[in-house]
Chain A
Amino acid sequence: EAQVTQNPRYLITVTGKKLTVTCSQNMNHEYMSWYRQDPGLGLRQIYYSMNVEVTDKGDVPEGYKVSRKEKRNFPLILESPSPNQTSLYFCASSLSGSGRQYEQYFGPGTRLTVT
């Protein structure tokens, strides 16, 4: 089954404790992206990757890191989480080029709470 998986689905952590949210897709997609969703602010793009070793900032990259060492994986790293990073996070993937990066498959979401 074609899918995007995220782990963990729920996480409660404390300020400053480094964490990683994993994202994996089994569709051989080149394009992958991370979004956060907050009430009243909608979905905002954090980082995206056009292919292995190619990443770029979205609209709200501050406080986040990403890496793309393998095509199927695109982890989101919070080196020193803060309460304002409490949010619902989504990973997405798609083919790339000629507009195909806009037909994205989304993961189920990770609900992160930073206290």
Chain B
Amino acid sequence: DAKTTQPTSMDCAEGRAANLPCNHSTISGNEYVYWYRQIHSQGPQYIIHGLKNNETNEMASLIITEDRKSSTLILPHATLRDTAVYYCIVPLYNFNKFYFGSGTKLNVKP
């Protein structure tokens, strides 16, 4: 997998946008960026993925820089229930193993 670097933790005020960065400077041309989150000891939850275009779904938006060396997951209106560890993952294309890394602990505060 391409190595990813994420901040250990971040704070966000409730109702504000949460912007979670991820650096993946060694990403290859056909490797996607995936985001998951894990709410305290629950099973991880898939959020979104992208290759080079920005993506949006009902949970979040994913912004990938033009050189694809970094990305940002955006939760547009964070709630207390968004407090979780967020993982940015770049799996090797069609490689079947999966590595989660350390992730970013997002604390949403009232």
A residues neighboring B (CB under 8 Å): 4, 31, 33, 35, 42-45, 48, 50, 56, 58-59, 88, 90, 92, 97-99, 101-109
Contact = CB atoms under 8 A, between A and B. Distances in A.
Contacts of A88: 41
Interface in B54-98: 89, 91, 93-94, 96-98
Contact of B91 (A59, A102, A107): A102
A106 B42 CA distance: 9
Q: Helix, strand, loop or mixed for chain A's interface?
A: strand
Nearest to B51: A99
Contacts of B93: 99
Interface residues of B, number: 22
Contact of B32 (A31, A99, A104): A99
B110 interface: no
A97 B91 CA distance: 13
A108 B94 contact: no
Given A43-B100, A58-B97, A102-B98, A108 B42 contact: yes
Contacts of A108: 42-43
